[in-house]
Chain A
Amino acid sequence: KAGVTQTPRYLIKTRGQQVTLSCSPISGHRSVSWYQQTPGQGLQFLFEYFSETQRNKGNFPGRFSGRQFSNSRSEMNVSTLELGDSALYLCASSSGLAGTKTQYFGPGTRLLVL
Chain B
Amino acid sequence: TQLLEQSPQFLSIQEGENLTVYCNSSSVFSSLQWYRQEPGEGPVLLVTVVTGGEVKKLKRLTFQFGDARKDSSLHITAAQPGDTGLYLCAGAGAGGTSYGKLTFGQGTILTVHP
Q: Do A and B come from one complex?
A: no
